[in-house]
Amino acid sequence: MADTSEKTGVFDANQLNQIRCPECGGSGELRIESENINENFEVEKQTVITGCPRCGGAGFVAAG
């Protein structure tokens, strides 16, 4: 029989004791604010969202 924990919402209680990643705050992603000046001398703001390299996008780091 196949593992049906994905469909039933079952999770591992040990995951509740994990340490949140200090770089992304547990979200698993980094947001980088950027400002550029275009050819009309207007400030363009953008937010770049990328996966956190420290935790690999999981939001938690190994206890150490």
pLDDT tens readout for residues 40-50 = 999 999 999 99
25-48: string of b/e by CB count within 10 Å (b at 16+)?
A: ebebebeeeeeeeeeeeeeeeeee
pTM score, two decimals? 0.55
Residue 8 has pLDDT above 90, yes or no: no
pLDDT at 37 over 60: yes
Residue 1 has pLDDT above 70, yes or no: no
Longest dimension (CA), the chain: 63
What pLDDT sits at residue 57? 87
CB contact at 8 A, 55 and 23: yes
Q: Give the separation between CA 61 and CA 55, rounded to whole angstroms.
A: 6
Instruction: Work out the average pLDDT over 43-62.
Output: 90
Residue keyed to tokens 């995951």: 15
